[in-house]
Structure 1
Amino acid sequence: MKISRRTILAAGAALATMTAAGPAFAASEYTLRIHTLVKSPHPYNDMAEAMKAEIEEASDGRVEVRIFDSGQLGQDPAVIGEMAFGTIDIMISTTSNAVQQIPEFGIFTMPYLFGGMDEALAAVGPGTDVHAHFEQVYADRGVGMKLLALGGSGTRNMSTKSVPIEGPADLAGLKMRTPPSPMDSKTWAAFDMLPVTVAWGELYAAMQTGVAEAMESSLPGYTGSKLYEVAPNLALTEHTVQLNHTSISEITWNKLPEDLQQIVEEAAISANIYGVEQAKGYDAALVETLQTDHGVTVTRPDKQAFMEVLAPLQVELAESLDLATEYALLKQ
């Protein structure tokens, strides 16, 4: 077979490029794949980028980090299963999507548990009793993951297909999308709503077709997934601070030498602090963008009215869902 001069020159140029980048490429001993479920702009993707930058720099290129956002590697329940086999290395996601494997995470969807994101981070951050508790929960549950960090990534708010929400009475009878979380189902049933479980990746279609008529989410999630197109009425209920977990496959963790384990863990902790600051900025800016650019109707209901419905249920919910230990830790 005759090889053209053009082909030879192209191959030579490619080889020269690889050679120029050779030391960094050759030094890469490990590749870590990070999963997020969301589209940018979103704190999770910002956190993933921050982790990538810190890990690659601190490891002097020994570790290469690849980010797969927007659910490219699957929905969270399937990803958690892959993590147990070490085929996916790290995930950054909301705790509510992991309650099937880690039921104790259900406590974090309790409405009005925290006064804000700073308060949430102080309660669940590294070195806290809550973080230590969930490290042990991971081990006891045998989920095949190690918890690196917990953090906050925005407030969660209500949005609906056709009814602007001014107060609790407006919720009665609406089909409310929930993740697979008993806490969410019981919470919204207290407002006489009809809970329906829908995966995040299927939510747009569910709202569009009327399978669900109401939903709640973070503002970045609502915006990034264009849910304002099918749920254009946004009520700033700020009923929960969205808690996220950064977790690593135990198989992956055990493959890493101690110095790289420390680098990865420190990067996760730093990324979660960064994520809180990013989330604050997103929440403030996105409300204005949603109104001006996308025609979203924004209401600001009196949160106290929602709290009055839910406050008497907090202890009851925690006990009925076997989350009294977690509730007590967060309230101590």
Structure 2
Amino acid sequence: MRLEKLLRVTALAGTLVALAGASAIAADWRGWNIHPEGYPNTVALEQFAKDVAEKTDGRVTPTVYNGGVLGSQPDAIEQTRNGALDFANFNLGPMGPIVPATNVLSLPFLFTGVDQMHKVMDGEIGQRFSDAMAEQGLVALAWYDSGSRSFYNTRQPIQTPADLAGMKVRVMNNDLYVQMIDQLGGNATPMAYGEVYQSLKTGVIDGAENNYPSFESSNHYEVAKFYSITDHLIIPECVCIAKASWDKLSPEDQEIVRQAAIDSATLQRKLWEERSVASRQKVEESGVKVNEVQDKKAFQEKMAPVYAAFIKANPDLEEWITAIQSTN
């Protein structure tokens, strides 16, 4: 009788330990996203969260907080690095101050097109960037598309660099973008994204630069009626996991999370292409004058000092530039 009781107590203790272990492993993840509901990145990131929750049987339950409600991107990067946030979709443009190697991706006219960017980032070169980010507490699992960026403004079409002379242009907070605008004769104005609409409307700035979906979804097209296609920047985005959160996962769950991120990137790229077409149509129908820059070489040649200064300051990254430019 005493032995039977002992066995029951032992079994109960084992059950409690197992339940406690399961509770410790379960994780409610918080994810940052700057984009609104329905945006390609938002749809893809929410699909990522759903897949992870289902395929880990609830061991990891991610929730995406959209619209930048958890802070600006610089704030979110720091929160993800220190584990206050578990995952995010980041543009690599503002990543440079934290991961200097990613500044390579912000060099103007680095890529010949979006397809080449995908090939670069999905291969060995992309893994280099992922490794550099992991050293700073960010595990990049997949790469999203953010299209190509072009100029828009409230004053006139841009056909040559001279058309930018004296124009106050909002840029993301990265010195390379400031240099780019300076070389084109404009006045670069780093500014938070949420301030751009009102600044365009009131004349604090004359223009900005971005892709069609962002130009449209932010309603900037309502106040900036000239969009000039320069395709001067093609900057990838990442699905990034906090290293602290990643390291807590079992190898099995790490693989599930990784595959969910890759699947979400496939979805995001498809939705991005569709949204780009729809966004262009919408802004043109609203009266925005869209022009294709005929001589992009004139803009590219202005970037020679930007490249020279970058390589002088980062000689170890020159080979990365060469590897990207030689990828066909």
Normalised TM-score (structure 2): 0.84
The 3 A distance-change label for structure 1 pair 167 and 71 is same
Q: What is the alpha-carbon distance in structure 2 between the residues aligned to residue 66 and residue 303 of structure 1?
A: 45
Give the AA of the match of 1:316: A
**Number of residues of Structure 1 aligned to a counterpart in Structure 2:** 301
Distance 2:66 2:319 in 1: 34
Aligned partner of 1:129 in structure 2 is: 124
Alignment partner of 2:68: what SS? Answer: coil
2:59 aligned partner? 62
Q: Distance in 2 between matches of 1:194 and 1:329?
A: 32
Which deviates the most, 209-218 or 299-308? Answer: 299-308
Correspondence 1:287 to 2:280: yes
Alignment partner, residue 256 of structure 1: 249
Supply the distance in 1 between the matched residues of 2:43 and 2:281 (Cα, whole angstroms).
Answer: 21
Cα distance, 1:307 vs. partner?
4.3
Residue type of the partner of 1:67?
V
Identity within the alignment, % = 23
Deviations 1:3-39 (A, max 9, x none): xxxxxxxxxxxxxxxxxxxxxxx9x922222211122
Residue 145 of structure 2 aligns to a residue whose secondary structure is strand
Structure 1 321/38 Cα, relative in aligned 2: closer, same or farther at 3 Å?
farther
Q: 1:44-193 counterparts in 2 under 5 A?
A: 44-125=41-122, 128-140=123-135, 143-193=136-186
Inter-CA distance 229–321: structure 2 relative to 1 (3 Å threshold): farther
Bigger Rg, structure 1 or 2: 2
Which one-letter code corresponds to 1:190 in the other structure?
Q
Q: Which runs of 5+ in 1 are unaligned?
A: 1-25
Deviates more, 1:101-110 or 1:89-98: 101-110
Partner of residue 228, structure 2: 235
Q: Following the alignment from structure 1 to structure 2, what is the Cα–Cα distance between the partners of residues 253 and 318?
A: 33
The one of 316, 319, 325 equivalent to 1:331 is: 325
CA contact (8 A) 2:151 2:209 kept: yes
* 1:193 CA displacement: 0.7
Residues of 2 paired with 1:180 and 1:309: CA distance?
23
Instruction: From 209, 218, 230, give the equivalent of 1:216.
Output: 209
What is the aligned-residue RMSD (CA, Å)?
A: 2.2
Cα contact 1:153–1:275 (8 A) shared by 2: no
- Per-residue CA shift, 1:111-137, capped at 9, x if unaligned? 222222221111011xx2222222332
CA distance in 1, matches of 2:82, 2:303: 41
| Matching residue within 31, 40, 45 for 1:43 | 40
Deviations along 1:264-316, whole A, 9 cap, x unmatched?
A: 11111222232222222222221111111x32221222143444434644641
Query: Structure 1 residues 312, 82: closer, same or farther in 2, change over 3 A?
Result: closer
**Partners of 2:184 and 2:299 within 8 A in 1:** no
Distance 2:235 2:129 in 1: 17
What residue ranges of structure 2 are gaps of 5+ in the alignment? 1-22
Deviation >6 Å, runs of 4+: none
CA contact (8 A) 1:160 1:213 kept: yes
Relative to structure 1, is the Cα distance of residues 320 and 185 closer, same or farther in structure 2, using a 3 angstrom cutoff?
farther
CA distance in 1, matches of 2:78, 2:88: 12
Q: CA deviation at 1:79?
A: 0.8
Residue 199 (structure 1) aligned with residue 192 (structure 2): yes
- For normalisation by structure 1, the TM-score amounts to 0.83
2-structure distance, mates of 1:159, 1:286: 14
Are residues 308 and 65 of structure 1, via their aligned partners in 2, closer, same or farther at CA, if it must alter by over 3 Å?
Answer: closer
Question: Helix, strand or coil for the counterpart of 1:106?
Answer: helix
Secondary structure of 1:153's counterpart equals coil
CA distance in 2, matches of 1:48, 1:151: 10
Q: Aligned partner of 2:213: which letter?
A: P
Q: Corresponding residue for 1:297?
A: 289
Alpha-carbon separation, structure 1, partners of 2:173 and 2:208:
13
State the AA in 2 paired with 1:129: E
User: Residue 26 of structure 2 corresponds to which residue in structure 1?
Assistant: 29
Pair 1:313–1:147, CA change in 2 (3 A)? same
